[in-house]
Structure formats: structure tokens, C-alpha cells
Structure 1
């Protein structure tokens, strides 16, 4: 077993970290507060090949794995530029298309993912389904030479800046009632839906998050799509779906550990330089020990995330799913604790705009909720790892 990253991965981290520092937290926050996008950073990351590290080489990518893309996500977050759409567009959408797309779909979409010139959203969440994917009511049915999509999605990231959205819909047989009931067996279909498709509308959800990526409610009213909008089999089952959701969990964990590293860097610098009664406050165990505990939890979460990525890249889907959930849980807890403790170390300065920790508070707390809540992960581990009776 090898617990160290290879030279190429370390070089990638260093290069991405340098790019992140060149833009920095001030750039990111200013853009977010002004309601603007971080297009310059995204374009540079794409031009330098960082967004396409996991896209196959034949389509212009780096030919690496989800572990490489997770390293990109983590280093940008650690530099104060956490780009939420890296979790969605190159991780979920590009991965699903690379694994299950037709030759034409791969040629159409993957070069854009590799270059960072294409952004695609991902839509699974619904208001009444929550974490229960078996209760999805958005449906897709075939009508001659077209698919017809009906329903709605909730809390979908970046719809205002993507070219298309990969929508998870319940496949219904021809002639079945519109909006087939949630009691039916889940037969998920993955559909590429252009954001300018007739019948597709979206509405912004105001959030307290300081982020350039916005959240939206999406509505699909008789959206007609060509047959080649379908990615993979029309009712391939949850296995095809989780080919995208496991990378999402790995990326979300890296997003969280990157934020946690930044919070601890800020707290450490402040504790070394803030002097009270002629002594740096970091010399006191009441300050030092809580930060040390946070640092341990962050490193444990990073290690679990790297294990999950290695399992996924090795094709061990079942083991990767378990590890990805554990990594996501550990990272969510670690970042929430690290940001909270960093604010405490700063005292009143912890909520001042100068230090930027207050803006991280909501984002760090969100890591315990999305893209899958800590409670659902605990349910998963209890049922699948410990083989306990299902609790819901």
C-alpha cells in the first residue's frame, strides 16, 4: 500500500495552488458579492488543463482519474477559490458521458469539458423526494422520435451559466400515466437537456451563501428532446446513476477539506502573530489543542478521500461507494469544526470581512448537508457496512 501521492499528482497540486493564489480569496469574494462569475479563473483552469485532467486523452483531456480532479478541487478551495461547478460539470457530467455516452456524445461534449469551455449542470434533487431517489416524480417518456420530459428539480447549481443540464428522470413506458407514481420501481434515465430548450425554465433561489454559483428551481413542461439526448440505457438502474454520484461525493469531500485547510491556515497565522500579555495566543493550549484536533480530523478526511478516489479509479465501484460516503461524512464534519474553531481563535475578527472566515461559515455548514446529508450517510454505513436492519 502506498500512502503518498506520486510526483505527477504533487506537481499538479502545486501548479493549481499557484493558480489559486494568483486569483485569491479577495477576487473570489468580490466576484461573489457583486453577483458576478469567476469566469477568468475557470477559463485559466481550463486552458491549463486542470479541469480536464480526468477526461480521456483521446478527447483532449489529461487521461487521469477522479483523484486528480479532486486534487484540483481541493487546491483551489485551499487557496480561497472554491469552485462549486468543479464538483458538477467535469466530475459528474463528464464522468457519466465518458463511461456511458455514445461515440457521438463523447465527441460532442468531452473536448469542451477537457478545455473548460463547456459547463453542464446536474439535476436530481426534487422538493418532495429529498434524499429518496426512489420518489423522483420527474418523468421521461418516448413519443415517436422524441423524448418528452416533465417535472421539476430543486437546488440545482449554476443553471444560469451552463450550456445544458444532465437531468435524472424516471423512465415511464409508452402509454403509462403522466407523472407515474413514486411507488413505481426506480428506472432512472439520464437526459442531456439544453438550457434553451422550449419548456425548460428556471427560477433563482436566494441563498445566504457567498458564492458566484447560484441555486435554482428548474421546471420541465413537455420538454421535447431528440433521441440522442439519452445517456446510457433508458432504464439502466441505480448503478449507472451512482457512476456520477460517487465522484460527486469524492469531489464534495475535497471541496470541504480544501476549505478546512484554508481556515486552519488563517487560524494558525493569527494564533502565531496575535499577542496578548506579551505572548502569542497560539502558545496557550486552550487555543493550540482545539486547532490541533481540527488538523487531525482534516488529515483523516483527506486520507479517506484519497482512498475513495483510488478505489473509484481502480474500478472498484462497490468499495468506492462505501469509501466515498465515509469521506464525504468525515470531510463535512472536519470543515465545520475547522471553520468554527478558526472563527473562535480570531474572536471578533472572525466575523469581519477582512479575514473572510464569516463567508466560509455557511459554506462549511452546507458540507454537512449536501450533496448527501450526514444522516443519510450514517444510515448507509449502518446498513451496508455494519449490516444492521434498515431504519427507514
Structure 2
């Protein structure tokens, strides 16, 4: 467990979640762990107390996800359901939406997926073609479009879909968020065949004139980007937590092995060729955590602009640190690193997810070069 300058409350939370994760381990049952984490109040730790949550923030939720990941049992849907969807509804939802969804998201009885990525609009959210138009007779919304690489749709009660509506004044399309129930007519899903081994599956979604009531719209129709990034910043912070936890798990396996494995006179961990790369991996993970904590602190303080920059940097740093930690762990174990016994081989693919999702490292470098450094764009 890391040594940090965290508050006593955060240290206690980290220790308690670590104990939970270690009880379940890498052979965990997702539903059982989700249920127990919910009962202990961990899933809704970031949601408002008046709606059944813990009254904390993304800082607390990121601790939960990191520690579960470090124990080998990360819950990917935590990135989506309480962090993105719960945050957006808590900040911008109507009272009815809050009453309907937040207590259920907090106690784990309901989950919500998040749909933004499209086949032709990966990193460019301005090219989203999923459109929503109003039925002039009923006031209902009609949603049409496609989404890809959407996690956990099969186990989610609804999906928060990013669509676009036409601005009556300018004619331009603006992003809006809609709650789409899993069983809505015209809402279809197809599982994507992935090499990635994960409890949560990936789906392609098709929306064919999905009819939604007027109150399916979350927040203000004219505040689209503000509301969208209110969900995307927590997503980046939580992805960093996911990656740091995964990297810590891999590193812990390598350290244990390096202490015990003896080929010549001393354990292999005594050799600098083994020890130094592991030490560097630890340093990189610790540095990534500091940036993640900064991003969470800024976000929870209401500094959306500052949090945006820090969240991108945290996600970048954590993704790089995770990949390096996993690679070095596998290398340390040699052939054993590719066996099922140690559970590292599956992380070779999983670690790359933190580099490419929810936004690639190249797009983060674009963000920093343009938004932070003020350099011109090439696109």
C-alpha cells in the first residue's frame, strides 16, 4: 500500500477497500464484488448524501477503484456508472432524475452505461452523428445513430447517450445527454469480439428512431459541452485510478517473485538489472498517482478548467506507467509471466486500454500542446 500525505479518512478508506479486494482476489466474481462494495458504501462514495451516497467526491471514488485494481479485481463499471453517469445526473439532472437514479446507483441495485464513441467520431466529439429531434406532436425525443466500444450495456439498466440536437437559432448541432433504457424500442446492441479478457463486455449500439419522453434529456439543452465534460473529466481521473491499480498489482507480483526466485547465489531481485526497472516502475506509478490526486482535488473543488488539464495529464501518466509496470513484471518472471498461475499475461492487453481509452495519449499531447502551451493546431 502506498505511503501518501492523505487524510486519515482517506487512509482508512484505502485500507478498508484493500482488505475487501484482497478477500476477493483476481478470481473474483464481478456481481458478488459489486454487491458487497455497494453494501459497504463504496460505489456511491462520490454521490450526494441526500440521495443515498457518501457525500464525498471523485477523490474518494478513485481510491476505491485503485485499491480494487491493486488487489487484482478492478470494477470497470465504476468508471462509468457512479463516476460519469452519477456525476452528470447529480450536477445537472432534474430532481426526478436524481431521485430515480442516484440512490440506485449508490446502492448498486442499478447501473448505467455511457455511450459517446462512434465509428466515425472516435476522438473528435464534434463529428458525433447521433442526432435527437423532437416530435412536434408529442414533445418526445427521437434518437438515431450508432455507438461503438460501449462497456457493460448488457448489465446496465440504461445508457447515458451523447447525441446532438439542432440549435434553432444557428442551425448548428450541439451535444446533449439522454437516458436510454435498456429495453427501449429501436435500441439494439451487438457484442464486439474482443481479445481483451474482462468481466465487462464491449458493444456496438444502434439507435433507430428510439422514442424517449421529454424528461429523458439530462440537464439544459443549451449547456451541452459543459455537461459533457463534467462527465469526461471524472472518466479520465478514474481511468488513471484503474491503470495505477493494475500497475501496482503487476508490480507486486514481480517484487514477490524477485525476492524469492534464486538462480545463482542471491535472489534475482538483488541484481540491479532486475531491481532498477522495478524501482523505476514504482516511481512512475507514484508520480502518476500524485497527478491523479491533483486532478481529483481540482474537480471536487469545482475547478473544471484546472481539472481538465490535470485529468488529461493524470490519465496519460498512469497509462504509460501501467504499461511499463506490466511489461517489466512479465519480463521479471520470464516464462512464468505468461502462465495463468501468476495472472500477468492477461494484463499485457488490458494495460494498453489505459493508453488508448477513453482518449489516446496522442490526443492528450494535442490537448496539452494547444491548451497549456499555446501552440498552434494542425487540424
Report the TM-score, using the length of structure 1 for normalisation.
Answer: 0.93
Alignment of 1:95 with 2:87, yes or no, is yes
Q: Tell me the CA shift for residue 235 of structure 1.
A: 3.0
Contact 1:153-1:217 at 8 Å conserved across structures: yes
Contact 1:164-1:195 at 8 Å conserved across structures: yes
Equivalent residue, structure 2, for 1:125: 117
Indicate which of 273, 280, 289 corresponds to 2:267: 280
Report the secondary structure of 2:84's partner residue: helix
- In 2, distance between residues paired with 1:13 and 1:204? 34
- Alpha carbons of structure 1 residues 186 and 11: separation in structure 2 relative to 1, 3 Å: farther
Report the secondary structure of 1:27's partner residue: coil
Alignment of 1:66 with 2:58, yes or no, is yes
Contact 2:147-2:206 at 8 Å conserved across structures: yes
- In 1, distance between residues paired with 2:197 and 2:75? 12
Alignment of 1:326 with 2:313, yes or no, is yes
Equivalent residue, structure 2, for 1:112: 104
Alignment of 1:20 with 2:10, yes or no, is no
Matches within 5 A, 1:270-349: 270-349=257-336
Deviations 1:185-214 (A, max 9, x none): 441110000010000000000111111100
Deviations 1:200-233 (A, max 9, x none): 0000001111111000000000100001100011
- Alpha carbons of structure 1 residues 186 and 307: separation in structure 2 relative to 1, 3 Å: farther
- In 2, distance between residues paired with 1:391 and 1:332? 25
Alignment of 1:163 with 2:157, yes or no, is yes
Contact 2:115-2:147 at 8 Å conserved across structures: yes
Matches within 5 A, 1:73-84: 73-84=65-76
Q: How many residues align?
A: 373
Report the secondary structure of 1:21's partner residue: helix
Contact 1:142-1:173 at 8 Å conserved across structures: no
Equivalent residue, structure 2, for 1:241: 228
Q: Tell me the CA shift for residue 293 of structure 1.
A: 0.8
Indicate which of 30, 37, 42 corresponds to 2:34: 42
Deviations 1:279-319 (A, max 9, x none): 10000000001111111100000000000000000011100
Indicate which of 200, 211, 219 corresponds to 1:224: 211
- In 1, distance between residues paired with 2:285 and 2:378? 29
Indicate which of 143, 146, 154 corresponds to 1:149: 143
Equivalent residue, structure 2, for 1:9: 10
Report the secondary structure of 2:355's partner residue: coil
Report the TM-score, using the length of structure 2 for normalisation.
Answer: 0.97
Contact 2:312-2:364 at 8 Å conserved across structures: yes
* Structure 1 stretch displaced more, 207-216 or 230-239: 230-239
- In 2, distance between residues paired with 1:77 and 1:277? 34
- In 2, distance between residues paired with 1:305 and 1:329? 10
- In 1, distance between residues paired with 2:223 and 2:55? 26
- In 1, distance between residues paired with 2:82 and 2:275? 38
Q: Tell me the CA shift for residue 130 of structure 1.
A: 1.0
Contact 2:68-2:74 at 8 Å conserved across structures: yes
Alignment of 1:51 with 2:38, yes or no, is no
Indicate which of 325, 333, 350 corresponds to 1:363: 350
Deviations 1:51-105 (A, max 9, x none): 0101100011100011000000100000000111000000000000000000110
Deviations 1:119-165 (A, max 9, x none): 00000000001100000000001113200000110000001000000
Equivalent residue, structure 1, for 2:130: 138
- In 2, distance between residues paired with 1:318 and 1:185? 24
Runs of 4+ in 1 over 2 A off after TM superposition: none
RMSD: 1.2
Structure 2: unaligned runs, 5 residues or longer: none
